[in-house]
Amino acid sequence: MYTLFGSAGSGSAMVEAALVLTGAAYELERASSWEPDSALERLRAVNPLLQIPTLVLPDGSVLTESAAILIHLGLQFPDSPLLPQDPARRAQALRGMVFIAANCYAAIGVIDYPERWCADIDESARKRLLSGARARLHAYWDLFADTFAAAPFLSGDAPGGLDLMAAVVSKWSGTRKHLARARPQFLATLVRIERHPQIAPVWARHWPDAR
């Protein structure tokens, strides 16, 4: 059985949904650095950075980094829709997941923890840093939307790992309002992903008030 460390409304939603798509047995451990009453010490034991999602595999080994987890599960369960069967489409799915991890996550890290990127930051510098990071994040999502076409999902006929990553990261990073203005068709794809029958129950658990 897999053990997934995560928290409601966080990036662990994409791995939880991925496990659902594979049909694998798993258990959830609520843990996050912002929830002092959660399983922090158990998470620290497997991931000293306290990052979520963290996935403990059935053999006891540990996987971190969302893109790596999704890619591993796609390879482990080749009959699942997590990675496209077509080599060309699979290559683009891998490219898209790494794009989000390398670019969008970097901007989100600045937005969430500006003090890590600017020593002795004052309020004026903080506002400028946040404004620049948000603009950069929005530009990354615009480029992503223009690069990765949906047919009808980003992974093809069914939602896969790229779909899960795009839907979840755009949700918890607060990018949806920007996309509604700048890339409404791409936003419609994200909504289609989250409303997929296999994904919707996971989504409702993480974002019960989502409309």
CATH of the domain at 24: 3.40.30.10
What are the helix (H) ranges across 2-104?
Answer: 12-22, 40-46, 66-76, 87-99
| d(C-alpha 183, C-alpha 177), whole Å | 10
pLDDT of residue 118: 86
pLDDT of residue 210: 64
Rounded to an integer, the average pLDDT of 187-197 is: 97
pLDDT of residue 167: 98
Domain boundary among 40, 57, 76: 76
pLDDT in tens, 135-163: 999 999 999 999 999 999 999 999 999 99
Query: How many other C-beta atoms can be found within 10 angstroms of the C-beta atom of residue 104?
Result: 21
Q: pTM of this prediction? A: 0.95
pLDDT at 211 over 70: no
DSSP 8-state class, residue 125: H
Domain residue limits at 61: 2-76
Question: Quick one: 44 and 105 in the same domain?
Answer: no
- The total number of structural domains in the chain stands at 2
> Of all helices (H) and strands (E), which one includes residue 28?
strand 26-30
CATH number at residue 140: 1.20.1050.10
Query: How many other C-beta atoms can be found within 10 angstroms of the C-beta atom of residue 43?
Result: 22
Cβ pair 98, 69 in contact under 8 A: no
205 domain-assigned = no
Question: Quick one: 101 and 188 in the same domain?
Answer: yes
Cβ pair 67, 97 in contact under 8 A: yes
201 domain-assigned = no
pLDDT at 83 over 90: yes
Question: Quick one: 49 and 124 in the same domain?
Answer: no
Rounded to an integer, the average pLDDT of 174-179 is: 94
Of 28-32, 84-88, 113-117, 146-150, give the lowest mean pLDDT range.
Answer: 113-117
Give the chain's mean pLDDT.
95
Question: Quick one: 186 and 110 in the same domain?
Answer: yes
pLDDT at 56 over 80: yes
Question: Quick one: 132 and 185 in the same domain?
Answer: yes
pLDDT at 5 over 90: yes
